[in-house]
Amino acid sequence: MRRGAAIVGDMKAMLCLGLLAAMPLMADTLVVDDQVQLRPSSIETPRRGSSMAAVEAKFGAPVNRHATVGQPPITRWDYNGFSVYFEYQHVVHAVASR
């Protein structure tokens, strides 16, 4: 009788795992072929290579300017909805926030 209960328990566990595997998962980042990919965003962000002056002219003054760190110098500006990372005076990356 105990063996039958163990088999039923195993079957329930496998059913639960199968249902979880079938459910769609939501993620902000995804790894495909060992490459990290970010979820696409509809928020407009500065283009890579844009100068600090061009970013400020198009998007206005940032909400927050972080101090430059490291070598090469990296600076982060925060806007409502996204952050911009500069190397020296040019955009290297812009990230939409939640």
Query: How far apart, in whole angstroms, are the C-alpha atoms of residue 11 and residue 73?
Result: 57
Check whether 56 has a pLDDT greater than 80.
Answer: yes
Sort residue 60 into left (φ over 0), alpha (ψ -120 to 50) or beta. Answer: left
At residue 38, the pLDDT reads 62
Comparing 98 with 25, which gets the higher pLDDT?
Answer: 98
Prediction pTM value: 0.61
Instruction: Please state which of the ranges 14-18, 29-33, 67-71, 74-78 shows the lowest mean pLDDT.
Output: 14-18
Average pLDDT over residues 44-68: 97
At residue 4, the pLDDT reads 55
